[in-house]
């Protein structure tokens, strides 16, 4: 009972954060425009980077696909929906996977213009590659190996990486309040790494504690 209640609480928190950040990103980038973003302004005004039309096109693809992935990914881990609506689970899975591919691939491109220089670039490159890698492993587990439990574990890791967009936007305002804007590029380099590595570690911890009955209920979806 305690485990189920804890799972529901964590699920609700993740859903609220995911939807909240998705709305925020949608308003910021598609309402006010990418040029109004603080990160973009920092690149142009402080780092004196030249951002081409191609960069902005790829950025919009990255953000749009990322918003969809963030918004629907958490639904895939709700047992009742997964068990009762198998067709919906598969449809959302296809949409989610496509969005991760587009957002991950575009993330590799825009990483080379990351705020904070090569340290941030390395972090976001590795994040994008890990995002695509875990998706590939998750799809292979269910399509080729037909192993639902393995599929669930890899997709849990994948969504943990998807939520890097959420944790990054939690750490940013906290860091700005604590350290101000003077050292923004310094702590942004740290955030570029901690926005996703702890997420992945937490996912591994969850995988190690998943009761076998969760895996059994998940496997019925793919029979």
Q: How far is CA 46 from CA 39, 75, 127, in A?
A: 10, 39, 25
Domain with 28 in it:
13-222
Residue 8 within a domain: no
Per-residue pLDDT for 82 more than 60?
yes
- CA dihedral defined by 49, 51, 55, 59, rounded to 10 degrees? 80
| CATH code for the domain in which residue 26 is found | 1.20.120
Between CA 212 and CA 148, with CA 156 as vertex, the angle to 5 degrees is: 50
**DSSP letter assigned to residue 34:** G
**DSSP letter assigned to residue 44:** I
Residue 168 within a domain: yes
pLDDT score, position 211: 55
Quote the number of domains for the chain.
1
Residue 5 within a domain: no
Decide if 138 contacts 151 (C-beta within 8 A): yes
pLDDT score, position 80: 87
Q: What is the pTM for the complete model shown?
A: 0.90
Residue 7 within a domain: no
Residue 4 within a domain: no
Q: Which residue has the tokens 């790829």?
A: 58
Both structure tokens of 45: 């005004």
pLDDT per residue over 90-108, tens digit each? 999 999 999 999 999 999 9
pLDDT per residue over 28-43, tens digit each? 999 999 999 988 988 8
């Amino acid at each position: 009972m305690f485990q189920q209640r804890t799972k529901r609480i964590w699920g609700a928190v993740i859903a609220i954060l995911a939807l909240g950040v998705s709305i925020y990103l949608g308003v910021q980038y598609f309402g006010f425009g990418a040029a109004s973003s603080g990160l973009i302004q920092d690149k142009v005004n402080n780092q004196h980077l030249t951002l081409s039309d191609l960069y902005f096109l790829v950025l919009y693809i990255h953000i749009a696909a990322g918003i969809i992935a963030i918004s629907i990914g958490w639904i895939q881990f709700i047992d009742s929906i997964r068990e009762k609506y198998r067709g919906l689970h598969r449809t959302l899975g296809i949409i989610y996977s496509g969005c991760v591919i587009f957002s991950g691939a575009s993330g590799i491109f825009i990483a080379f213009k990351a705020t904070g220089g090569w340290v941030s670039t390395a972090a976001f490159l590795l994040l994008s590659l890990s995002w695509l890698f875990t998706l590939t492993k998750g799809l292979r587990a269910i399509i080729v190996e037909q192993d639902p439990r393995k599929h669930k574990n890899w997709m849990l890791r994948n969504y943990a990486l998807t939520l890097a967009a959420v944790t990054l936007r939690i750490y940013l305002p906290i860091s700005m309040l604590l350290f101000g804007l003077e050292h923004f590029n310094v702590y942004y380099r740290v955030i570029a790494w901690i926005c996703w590595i702890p997420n992945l570690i937490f996912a591994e911890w969850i995988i190690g504690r998943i009761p076998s009955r969760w895996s059994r209920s998940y496997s019925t979806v793919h029979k």
